[in-house]
Structure 1
Amino acid sequence: MMDSPSFLTLDHKNNHRIAYRQLKTNNNLPSILLLGGFGSSMYGEKATALYNYCKKCNLNLTVFDYLGHGNSSGNFIDYTINDWYQNCISIIESLTNGPQIIIGSSMGGWLMLLIALTHPSKVAGLIGLAPAPDFTENVIFAALTPEEKNLLQNNHPVTVTFTYSKDEDRSYNITNNFIKDGRKHLLLNNNNININCPIILIHGMNDLAIPYETSIHIAKKVTSTNVNLYLIKSGDHYLRDKHSLNLTFNSIQSLLAQH
C-alpha cells in the first residue's frame, strides 16, 4: 500500500500544489533528491525502487511531482522547462537542508545541471540517468515536420511521440511556448558547462529516446574533473532493470563516501 503524498503550496503559482514524499533520518550525510523525467510520476517504478532503497539504507530522500505531473496540480501542457526548474528550486529551498545528491532522470538530468549551475552550494553531487539536456530542441523540434513547425509558430499545439523502448511509445501535446522557453536553457551549445561537483552519468546504449552520446557530450563539457560515465550496452531509456538500479544505488554510495 503506497503512502499518501504531502503537498507544498506555491503561493506564486495561484496556490498550485506540488506533491512530494520524504524520508527523514538523523544521519548527517547529504540527502538524496530525485528529479523525475518528462511526464513522470513519483510513484513510478524507478522512483519507488529508490524510495525503498533509501528507506532500507536509512538515507534522507525527497521525491516529488512537477506541476502538471502525477499528484501535483495543473495541466501538463501549460508548463515549460523554466516552470519545472522553479519547482525544483521551491522544493530545495522549502523542504531540504544542506547540499543534496541530485539524481536527474531524463529531463530531470537537464534540470539537475541547471540547478548545479545556479545553486552550486545546494549540490553535493549529481547522478544523471539518461540525462536529456536540450531535448526540447535536439529531440522534439528537430523531429518536427515543416507543417508541424508552422502549426507551432501559429500557436497550435502539436502531438509528439517518444519511443522510450522497443515496447513503449508515449505521446505528448507540445506548445510553441514550451519550445521557445527550452531555447533559453540550452547547455550543450556552450563550449563548457561550469559545474565542478562530482558527477556520475549512466546511459543505456539502446536508449531510443535520448542518444547515449548526450552523456558523452555532458562529460566532455562540464568543468568538473570528477566525472564517471557508465554506458550500459543492453540498457534502454528507463534504466529500471536490476543491473541499472544497482548501478544507481552504487553511485549513491560512491558519492556519499566522498563526504
Structure 2
Amino acid sequence: METSGLLERPDGERVAWKKVDGDGPTVVWLGGFKSDMTGTKAQALAEWAERRRRGYVRFDYFGHGASTGDFAAGTVSRWRRDAMAVMAELTQGDLVLVGSSMGGWIACLAAMVIPERIRGMVLVAPAPDFTQKLMGPEIPPEGRAALEADGVWMRPSEYGDPYPITRNLLEDGARWSILGGEPIPLEMPVRILQGGADPDVPWRHALELAQALKGEDVVFTLIKDGDHRLSRTHDIERLIRAVEEFF
C-alpha cells in the first residue's frame, strides 16, 4: 500500500512524497526538470514495488508537481537539498537511486554525499551539467538579452507553455558541474539507459557521464530508436530489469 505526505522544510516550504514500504534496499525516484512524480516511469515503479513488496519513495522537487514553491525560484542547489532531505527523513539503510534526465544529475550529487548507502544507480537519459552544457548553448540572442536585462527568459517548450529560465538557475548549476574535470568519485554499480533519438539529451552526453564515473561496474545501454522519455512498454520493462539487478 502506498502512503503519501508532505515533508516540512526549514524555510516553510513542503515537499510532497509517496512511499511504499517493502524489503531490500529502498528505491528512490528522482525526476527530471519540470516533471513530477506522477509520470509514467515513476508510476510504473510504484506498481512494481507494491507487486514485489519492495521499498520505494518518489517525491516532487520544490516548485514541481504537488510540492510548494515557485518554480522560477528553483535551483540545482535547492533540488539537491530536497533529495537529500527525502533520503534522510523517509528512508533507512541501502538505497537504489533511479534518476531521470536532471534526476540523473541530482542522483550523482546525492550519491557523492552518502556513497556508503548507495547500492547502485539506474540513470535514464541522465543530464548532468545540463544548465551549462545542454541548455546554455541553445539560448538564442533574444534569450540572452532577456537574462541580462531581467534575469529571466521564457523558454519555449515542445511539451506545453513557455517556462522561466533564470540567471540564478544557470549560475547555480555551474557550481555543481561534475563533467569535464576529475573523474566523478562514485564507485557503486551504475546502469544507464539512453535513447539514441533523444532530442533533449544527446546520447554522447550520457556516454560522457558513463566514462567519467570512477567505478568500473558501469553499463551503458543505447536504445537506438528511443526518445527522451523512454516510457514505452518495452522501455519500462528494461528499466525495471535494471532496477532488479540490485536486489
TM-score greater than 0.5 by the shorter chain: yes
8 Å Cα contact 1:195-1:224 kept in structure 2: yes
Aligned partner of 2:235 among 229, 234, 244: 244
**Structure-1 separation of matches of 2:54 and 2:106:** 22
Matching residue of 2:166: 175
Provide the C-alpha distance between the structure 1 equivalents of 2:106 and 2:156, rounded to a whole number of angstroms: 21
Is the counterpart of residue 105 in structure 1 residue 105 in structure 2?
no
1:101 CA drift (Å): 0.2
| Cα distance in 2 for residues equivalent to 1:124 and 1:228 | 15
State the partner residue of 1:47: 42
2:193 pairs with 1:188: no
Asked if the contact 1:198–1:224 (Cα under 8 Å) also holds between the matched residues in 2, the reply is yes
Q: Tell me whether 223-232 or 41-50 shows the greater mean CA deviation.
A: 41-50
Displacement of 1:4: 7.4
Find the aligned partners of 1:170 and 1:54 in 2 and give their Cα distance: 33
1:131 aligns with one of 111, 126, 131: 126
Query: CA, structure 1 residues 183+74, in 2 after alignment: closer, same or farther (shift >3 Å)?
Result: same
1:152 to 144, 147, 150: 147
2: CA distance between counterparts of 1:86 and 1:146? Answer: 32
Counterpart residue type for residue 140 of structure 1 = M
Match of 1:77 among 72, 81, 85: 72
Change (3 A) 1:169 1:72: closer
Q: Secondary structure at the match of 1:8?
A: strand
* Percentage identity across paired residues of the two chains: 29
2:16 counterpart (15, 19, 33): 19
CA displacement 1:82-111 (0-9 Å, x = unmatched)? 100000000011110012100000000000
Tell me the SS of whatever aligns to 2:246.
helix
Q: Which amino acid aligns with 2:196?
A: M
Match of 2:197 among 196, 206, 229: 206
Query: How large is the Cα RMSD of the aligned pairs?
Result: 1.6
2:1 is aligned with 1:6? no
Unpaired segments ≥5 residues, structure 1: none
- Alignment gaps of 5+ in structure 2: none
CA contact (8 A) 1:125 1:198 kept: yes
**SS of aligned partner of 1:255:** coil
Contact 1:162 1:209 in 2 (8 A): no
How many residues end up aligned between the 2 structures?
247
What letter is aligned with 2:7?
L
Show CA shifts across 1:130-167 (max 9, x none). 0000111112111112332232133331022355xxxx
Whether the 8 Å CA contact 2:3–2:19 is kept in 1: the answer is no
Residue type matched to 2:17 in 1? Y
1:7 to partner: Cα distance: 0.8
Q: Which residue of structure 2 aligns with residue 118 of structure 1? A: 113
**C-alpha distance 218-57 of structure 1, shift in aligned 2 (>3 A):** same
CA distance in 2, matches of 1:172, 1:213: 26
Contact 2:101 2:125 in 1 (8 A): yes
Compute the TM-score of the two structures, normalised by the length of structure 2: 0.95
Structure 1 window deviating more from structure 2 (137-146 vs 97-106): it is: 137-146
Correspondence 1:33 to 2:24:
no
Q: Deviations over 1:156-206 (max 9, x none)?
A: 31022355xxxx466321110000000000111213111100000000001
